[in-house]
Amino acid sequence: MSSIQQLIHTVEVAYAHRPDIARTFARCLPNSLDTAMQPHPDGTFVITGDIPAMWLRDAAAQVWPYLPLCTDDPALRDRVAGVIRVQARQLLTDPYANAFNATPSGAGHAGDQPERDPLVWERKFELDSLCYPIRLAYGYWRHTGDAAPLHGEFHRALRVVIDVMRVEQRHEDLSPYRFWRPGTVPATDNMPGGRGAPVRPCGLIWSAFRPSDDACERNYHVPGNMMAAVELGHAAELLRVLGDDALAVEADVLAREVRAAIEAHAVVEHPEYGRIYAYETDGLGHHVLMDDANVPSLLAAPYLGYVPADDPTYVNTRRFVLGADNPYFARGRCAHGVGSPHTPAGYVWPIGLAMAGLTAATATERLAAVDMLVTTTAGTDLMHESFHPDDPAQFTRPWFGWANGLYAELVLATLDTAG
């Protein structure tokens, strides 16, 4: 599309002294548009890349860099609006699912219990899966002023999302959700007894799995709750546009409850770093201290709008996350950054590198993140899921739309200082 090509040209001019950065941007920015966004009845279906399913999280993140272009590009605007409509139908089909098929084929993880709807690829309940469609719709509306995709199914989906979040504040008493994967599978693909570890109701929203699709250790996932607090506020704003003031009030009240619960139950005093956010907690006094590259993450809190980048607790948390005390931080000859237990030990994730740049306090740090990303593509000029920091040619997933989109976002965030 012309708007995409114009933006690529802008980056080529700004980074004339670094053609590798511009060349990689030219491959990454249109990657999801060219290869992953597929026409769908009254909408747009978005595959993640090398997996032919649509993750609520990934799809919203993959098209996020296109939002500023939607204002003046009607064709692109229609395609992104189509993603919003499809995600609304997916949430109405099963708000506990994280990934969907294009048709009711039953493809995906056969044997998962309870049985899935044939439109569902995987039914791992991840709190962020309820948040990303709201983030995309809100961002679209802010850029375009177009409220048309918000009516009807999306409006009904907001009611469902808020109801599910309310239920999952009291998971053990109210939730119908169960999940188990029979057979020999990694522990990260299952929950104890199909229900997860014990939790105490405290205002936080329960999640079965992390944004990595790995099982939570303590089922209040703090970054997911941070995202929920922000997106519930956005949902309230959208609901007022739709004339549903009563549901908007419910969303605002829930947002305040979640934020208060995070500050009361998810902040710990670390002997070296001071007050930091935990990655997970259970309301019973247990905390998991780590961070994972997948977003929402603790590192991404300012990117998601939960706190400003200079918030003291976030600054302390960031020092912890980007250092050796985070068990999923890795350092090698070619790169250093946050990884994930979802991939081989010691691997670094481009998503984590991009997020470190997008939340950096200085232009120097942002540019260093761009340089680290562009020099570790193993000659592909595309991002991967993860790679060995001593040898980027050892990588996972050759086609990963979310990481490509985040690289493009980061480059665009550096344009003012590219020279």
Residue 249: is its pLDDT beyond 70? yes
Tell me the per-residue pLDDT of 364-409, one tens digit each, with 9 for 90 and over: 999 999 999 999 999 999 999 999 999 999 999 999 999 999 999 9
In a domain, 155, yes or no: yes
Tokens in use for 50? Answer: 């090398």
Question: How many angstroms separate the CA atoms of 239 and 243, rounded?
Answer: 6
C-alpha torsion angle, residues 66, 228, 329, 326 (rounded to 10) = 160
Task: Examine the domain organization and report whether 143 and 277 are in the same domain.
Answer: yes
Supply the pLDDT for residue 2.
Answer: 87
pLDDT tens digits, one per residue of 194-211: 889 999 999 999 999 999
Which two three-digit tokens encode residue 129? 């899966």
- Both 333 and 316 in a single domain? no
Amino acid at 24: T
271 shares its domain with 135: yes
Is 246 part of any domain? Answer: yes
- Whether the predicted pLDDT of 191 surpasses 90: no
In Å, how far are 15, 39, 204, 251 from 257, measured between CA atoms?
Answer: 45, 39, 8, 10
Domain termination site, one of 310, 326, 342: 326
Last residue of a domain, one of 326, 345, 372: 326
pLDDT, position 110 = 87
Q: List pLDDT tens digits, range 285-336.
A: 999 999 999 999 999 999 999 999 999 999 999 999 999 999 999 999 999 9
Specify the higher pLDDT residue, 193 or 173: 173
Residue 318 sits in the same domain as residue 357: no
Tokens 């680290």 -> residue: 372
What is the widest separation between alpha-carbon atoms in the chain?
60
Q: Can you name the residues that pair with 288 across neighbouring β-strands?
A: 280
Instruction: Say yes or no to pLDDT of 1 above 70.
Output: no
Q: Is there a single domain that holds both residue 99 and residue 171?
A: yes
Are 65 and 115 part of one and the same domain?
Answer: yes
Residue 183 has a CB neighbour count (10 Å cut-off) of 8
- Report residue 193's pLDDT band, with 50, 70 and 90 as the boundaries: confident
The model's pLDDT over 2-25, given as tens digits with 9 standing for 90+, comes to: 899 999 999 999 999 999 999 999
Is there a single domain that holds both residue 276 and residue 133?
yes
The CATH number assigned to the domain holding 311 equals 1.50.10.10
Do both 183 and 240 map to the same domain? yes
Residue 199 lies in a domain: yes
Q: Which of 307, 326, 345 is the last residue of a domain?
A: 326
Q: Are residues 67 and 136 in the same domain?
A: yes
* HSE, side-chain direction, 13 A CA sphere, residue 383: 34
Q: Specify if 40 maps to a domain.
A: no
Question: Domain containing 207: what range?
Answer: 51-326
Q: What is the pLDDT of residue 45?
A: 98
Does residue 143 sit in the same domain as residue 191?
A: yes
* DSSP line for 239-291: HHHTT-HHHHHHHHHHHHHHHHHHHHHSEEEETTTEEEE-SEE-SSS-EE---
Please state the rounded mean pLDDT for residues 221-234: 99
Rounded Cα distance between 78 and 158, Å, is 21
Residue 44 domain-assigned (yes or no) = no
Residue 43 located in a structural domain? no
Model confidence at 237: pLDDT above 90: yes
Quick one: pLDDT at residue 183? 85
131-190 tens-digit pLDDT: 999 999 999 999 999 999 999 999 999 999 999 999 999 999 999 999 999 987 888 999
Are both 268 and 378 inside the same structural domain?
no
Domain match, 366 and 300 both: no
Sign, CA dihedral 96-141-47-306, equals negative
Please report how the helices 401-413 and 2-14 are oriented relative to each other, as an axis angle in degrees rounded to 10: 50
Q: What is the pLDDT of residues 108-140, one digit of tens each?
A: 998 999 999 999 999 999 999 999 999 999 999
Instruction: Please count the structural domains in the chain.
Output: 2
CA dist., res. 131 & res. 296, Å (int): 10
Classify residue 136: in a domain, yes or no. yes
* Angle CA 347–216–224, to nearest 5: 90
